[in-house]
Structure 1
Amino acid sequence: MIQEAIEAPAGTAERKAEVRRAAKKWREPERTIYNWIKRLEDAGGDMNALARKLPSDAGQRRAWVSRQFDAAWVECGFDPAELPAIGSEVDHLLCRAWASPAQRAGWEQVRRVALTLFRRDLGERGIQLPDAAIRISQRRVMQFQADRRLDVRENDRKRWDDTKPRIRRDATGLSPMEIVVMDVKPLDCIVRRADGTTSWPKLIAFMDWGTHRVFRHYALLAQGEGVRQEHVIDAFKAMVSHRDWGFPRQLYRDNGTEFAVFDKIRSALELINTPGARTIVNAKPYSGASKPIESKFATLDRFVFSQMRGWAGGDRMNKKTQTVGKPPAPYPGSFSDFVAEAEARIVQFESYPIKTGFFAGRSPADWYSAKLANGWRPVRVDTFALEAAFAKRTDRRVVKGAISLNGAAWRHPELARFNGQSVEIAMPYQRDAAPLINLPDLGWAALLEDMPFLPGQILGAIGSSREQRDVERAAGRRRRELRPIAPTETLSPNVVPLPGRASAAPLIDLGMSIEAKQFAGARLESIDRASNEMDEAARRRARRDQITRNLLREQANG
């Protein structure tokens, strides 16, 4: 705005003309432009002189509770020096409210609960302020929403587990069949049985972690039937007998009862492993992130099964996928036709390069071919011996603590304590320099790039357990600091009192009505006489009571 003007000499008509032109172009007063030029020239050309001046209280807290509350506190004659302590109390109440079930209803309910407790505390201290003054802004409430994780931890363990810090494992160095992950997936496709009824097929899958291949075994069960151990055994036998798969060295299984049968082949797995190696690993219950096959299932849904006819979508109760109010149309062919099409699509899919992760750039088929060229060969097993191993026998007498930047994960030993909170990050201008993080109560620190562990490396599990233990301890300490709010603690102060019971309306005095006397006849006259007699008797009793009280008073006075 002032570039053209400062190039003209000071006090000349050229500068005056440039200032006038700049004022018209940028719609700024000429006096303002002259002031900018003077400030720049007095500073010797330092453009920092044109910056806005910071207020004297920059970086200082201006409101302790809220502007309305602080102003009302001073107007009512209370000591302003007490406001910082009251502000800390409000912060603590907000944290307690976020850690309560109120967080499920959103920030407004959290504020409502915190203000209710705040009014109660003020009343116990004898402090009376206008209701309009007891206000907390939404921004103030949202500052403490990270404590909602405490209520999630106590009431939604699955959601809490998904937010825990996780390590990454690089499985590209594994040999084929070194670790095989198995699970059962209900397919969201409708297929007809031989008798014409419809069913949802089940996919018993084995994922080779070293190549990302998936061995598939389909089962179309009878009505009301679930996947049993014999179905899993048939799938495992089919995989072992396949020329490109063979016998695995380690099984990573789900916790379903149908997979408990693999305990019977521990001795067979130990024959092809080093002494003391773990041959069967149980996945963590209710933790999809700990099973790499779960993400493979989601990929197959998108690229394979959703492309086939009979697909009903992920929500089976939603009948609007294909038609409104009617069930989706089943697969037009037989179950064998469905399996043949699914297999053809999966074979084609496994020839596509993997897009993300450590396996990115090559397809599962390419990874398998490369490791086959390096000398790997599948382990064969006698089918009858495997059959005997699964047979029954008896005798007559077993997420996330990291920061993602530019496609890389970064960690810090103290970062797990702040899981779910926002932290400040600084990106240095030097190349290959580690990002910086501003940790609360610790200050700035350098982040370390997350290095993946091998699937069998025990140090990875130790580090993951340590980080998860730190998160649990931090959450426990925070829960001890934030006393739980009783379910009914905030209900009674919010109940609007109803008006008192109204007194009964007076009876109509029919005796005052001449028309009523004529209508009722002698009955009203008898009622009037009885009323008068009762009144006279009551007057006599009152006189006797008064005489008795006077006598007692004189006797008491001596």
Structure 2
Amino acid sequence: MAALKPLLAMSERDRGRRAMAEEIARNLGCSWQHVYRLAEKAKTGGVMALARMGERRDRGQARVLISGRWMDWAARLCAAWPQAGDVPALADKTRQLVRAAWVGGAPGAFQCWLKASAALAKDLIDAGCPEPLAVELLSITCPRKWVEAEGKHFRVAGRALRDGKGVYDHNITPVRRTAANLKPGDLVCGDITPLDIPVLRDDGSVAYARLVSWHDVATNWLWVDVVLLEKGQGIRRDDVAASFARMAEEAPFGMPRRLYLDNGSEYRWDEMLVACKHLADMTGQQFVADESATAPASRQVVRSIPFHPRGKRIEGVFGRLTHWLSWWFGYVGGNRMTKKVATLGKGVDPAPLAEVKRWLNETLADYHVTPQPRAEHMGGMSPQQKLLSFREAGWAPWRIDRLALALAFADRYERKVTRGTVSVNGVTYYADFLMHIHGTVTVAVPRILLGAPVPLAYVLDGPRILGWAAPEHTYHLLDQAGAKEAARRKKVFRVMTGERLAQAGGPLDEAALAGTRALLLGLEATLAEVESAKQEITLSEEGQALLAGYMAAQEKAIADLNRKYELSLTADKLNRWADEDEDTKQARAMGL
């Protein structure tokens, strides 16, 4: 093409064109006539026309629209039934139905053609096509290459409608993430997974334990607690709280600075978030965890997307752990429906839980010292080497007091103090200091036992711990210990009362303070000021006349009432003396 450019730039009537062609022919090693033919190809088809010289002109173009048999059938159909249109239109309709079959979930080219050809035959018959002619389509062999060419672009859409897991695994492009800049404890993932090893309960029944797992992303260290549940029971908040507390106390990566938690409905992590907020209050916001979207990124709790294991690094750790667990002789695999058994027709081979726990701890120890060359942020190191490298760089784990953990993982209730006791869930707790508290307090009942012989409840006033209270003891009616305890409580109350009096400096003399506020605030001066500013209001002459008349009328009415009363007394005397019989007269004469 470069050699022909000078010739192409000249018109056909330019002088010297022949000489130019001969010069180009000598350079290319061909005749000048062949140079003219090359120039014609280049002028009409460009460089691609020159590149395809020696190839078929119709290279890359199908000689038939779908297949030879289909073309014969389509030609006869269009000739016998003009309403079908032309062959290209019929081919477009067939192509559309094949695409619809792929989107509908056809498993392969043959099944796709069966459904598409049946749909086309039905549409033709419904439109009035002679049935024998339309039915001939069903006997045409599947044009596999053509059908698969359409499936190349439409098969994935059908998979997306039916197989979300397959599309997630094979089609959706993952986003690359790295944990290279994280330190131990910076991000800890929490999750729960079944232990696919059958164990024996105390009653001899077979069960599968659960693993409450915590994964430090920076070192790939895995902290695991084995929990054996009763039949029909799930993981409880107590199990999660105890596991989190042990992890914070004993795990080499220490207290996590940020949490990445599972979002499935099986897991009850909300209570742990509440506990984390309590920890933040008790540690002066040194440890902070917040699930609010408006919180800073450094303190937000990360929630994984449901049913998207690719984003949860702990799922990958579980996958690697499976290779270690499969060494156990009684390992049954992840599919409980088709358990791995040593002998066909025989059940699983369970083992004692203590033995499995011991082996699991030793296996995890081997895992922690094994290099991980495929983990990009590990640099070919083992979790042990990665942890040691951070320690040599000056990193140190966080540790939180166990009492703070116990108070964080506690159920809190607002309760009113009644005679030195508080009642929570039917349990009455007593403490001496409660006898001098009036009103309501916060009662925290820990889910983590601290080694006390009886479960204790902690009484809080905001973030301040007032003390602990023990369940109230009930004494027998004639037990002298009850009387001694009552006397002790009275003595304690008197001592505490004396302490309060001393702290307050004695009771306030209210009698001596009576009237002090009025005196200090100038009440007498205010009253004198008001009295000095009074204005006398007198009645008018008409008002005075009305008042005099009213008073005269009142005096006359009073005089009339008195006169009537005297007349009634006189009449009563006359009536009594006139009506007395002889016996009454004699009695009166005797002084009775």
**CA–CA distance in structure 2, aligned partners of residues 286 and 260 of structure 1:** 19
Q: Does 1:88 align with 2:92?
A: yes
Using the TM superposition, name which of 147-156 and 354-363 deviates more: 147-156
**CA–CA distance in structure 2, aligned partners of residues 204 and 243 of structure 1:** 14
Give how far 1:126 is off: 4.9
Aligned to 1:121: 123
Could you list the per-position Cα deviations for residues 521-549 of structure 1 after superposition, in whole angstroms to 9, with x for gaps in the alignment? xxxxxxxxxxxxxxxxxxxxxxxxxxxxx
Which structure 2 residues correspond to residues 225-304 of structure 1 after superposition, within 5 A?
Answer: 225-242=233-250, 244-255=252-263, 256-267=266-277, 268=279, 271-272=286-287, 276-277=296-297, 278-302=299-323, 304=324
Tell me the SS of whatever aligns to 1:190: strand
Aligned to 2:361: 343
Q: Is this contact kept in 1: 2:331–2:340, CA < 8 A?
A: no
Give how far 1:241 is off: 0.3
Q: Identity rate of aligned residues, in percent?
A: 26
Q: Is this contact kept in 2: 1:68–1:132, CA < 8 A?
A: no
Tell me the SS of whatever aligns to 1:214: strand
- Cα distance 1:154–1:60, how it changes in 2: closer, same or farther (>3 A)? closer
Match of residue 154, structure 2, among 147, 150, 170: 147
**CA–CA distance in structure 2, aligned partners of residues 264 and 230 of structure 1:** 14
Could you list the per-position Cα deviations for residues 46-102 of structure 1 after superposition, in whole angstroms to 9, with x for gaps in the alignment? xxxxx99422210112221322121333356649993333322222211211222x5
Q: Is this contact kept in 1: 2:74–2:90, CA < 8 A?
A: no
Q: Does 1:311 align with 2:311?
A: no
Which structure 2 residues correspond to residues 298-447 of structure 1 after superposition, within 5 A?
Answer: 298-302=319-323, 304-319=324-339, 321-331=341-351, 334-358=352-376, 359-395=378-414
**CA–CA distance in structure 1, aligned partners of residues 188 and 398 of structure 2:** 13
Tell me the SS of whatever aligns to 2:86: helix
- Cα distance 1:77–1:317, how it changes in 2: closer, same or farther (>3 A)? closer
Give how far 1:42 is off: 8.6
Scaled by the length of structure 2, what TM-score is found?
Answer: 0.53
Tell me the SS of whatever aligns to 1:307: coil
**CA–CA distance in structure 1, aligned partners of residues 311 and 184 of structure 2:** 20
Aligned to 2:75: 74
Give how far 1:272 is off: 3.5
Q: Is this contact kept in 2: 1:64–1:86, CA < 8 A?
A: no
Aligned to 1:59: 60
Q: Is this contact kept in 2: 1:65–1:83, CA < 8 A?
A: no
Match of residue 178, structure 1, among 181, 186, 199: 186
Give how far 1:226 is off: 1.8
Q: Is this contact kept in 2: 1:184–1:203, CA < 8 A?
A: yes
**CA–CA distance in structure 1, aligned partners of residues 203 and 89 of structure 2:** 76
- Cα distance 1:165–1:374, how it changes in 2: closer, same or farther (>3 A)? same
Aligned to 2:563: none
Aligned to 2:25: none
Q: Is this contact kept in 1: 2:117–2:137, CA < 8 A?
A: no
**CA–CA distance in structure 2, aligned partners of residues 317 and 133 of structure 1:** 45
Q: Is this contact kept in 2: 1:188–1:314, CA < 8 A?
A: yes
Scaled by the length of structure 1, what TM-score is found?
Answer: 0.57
Counterpart AA for 2:370: Y
How well do the aligned residues superpose, as a CA RMSD in angstroms?
Answer: 3.2
- Cα distance 1:77–1:109, how it changes in 2: closer, same or farther (>3 A)? closer
Gaps of 5+ in 1: 1-40, 44-50, 398-558
Aligned to 1:109: 111
**CA–CA distance in structure 2, aligned partners of residues 311 and 243 of structure 1:** 27
Give how far 1:344 is off: 1.1
Could you list the per-position Cα deviations for residues 124-148 of structure 1 after superposition, in whole angstroms to 9, with x for gaps in the alignment? 5555546445634122222333534
Q: Is this contact kept in 1: 2:275–2:410, CA < 8 A?
A: no
- Cα distance 1:52–1:321, how it changes in 2: closer, same or farther (>3 A)? farther
- Cα distance 1:121–1:198, how it changes in 2: closer, same or farther (>3 A)? closer
Give how far 1:230 is off: 1.0
**CA–CA distance in structure 2, aligned partners of residues 245 and 200 of structure 1:** 28
Gaps of 5+ in 2: 1-28, 32-51, 290-294, 417-592
Tell me the SS of whatever aligns to 1:226: coil
Could you list the per-position Cα deviations for residues 1-50 of structure 1 after superposition, in whole angstroms to 9, with x for gaps in the alignment? xxxxxxxxxxxxxxxxxxxxxxxxxxxxxxxxxxxxxxxx999xxxxxxx
Aligned to 2:221: 213
Q: Determine which structure has more spread, i.e. the larger CA radius of gyration.
A: 2
Q: Does 1:98 align with 2:118?
A: no
Give how far 1:257 is off: 3.5
- Cα distance 1:77–1:254, how it changes in 2: closer, same or farther (>3 A)? closer
Give how far 1:153 is off: 3.6
**CA–CA distance in structure 1, aligned partners of residues 137 and 108 of structure 2:** 23
- Cα distance 1:239–1:291, how it changes in 2: closer, same or farther (>3 A)? same
**CA–CA distance in structure 2, aligned partners of residues 147 and 203 of structure 1:** 42
Q: Is this contact kept in 2: 1:243–1:378, CA < 8 A?
A: no
Q: Is this contact kept in 2: 1:187–1:200, CA < 8 A?
A: yes
Counterpart AA for 2:386: W
- Cα distance 1:77–1:280, how it changes in 2: closer, same or farther (>3 A)? closer
Q: Is this contact kept in 2: 1:177–1:210, CA < 8 A?
A: yes
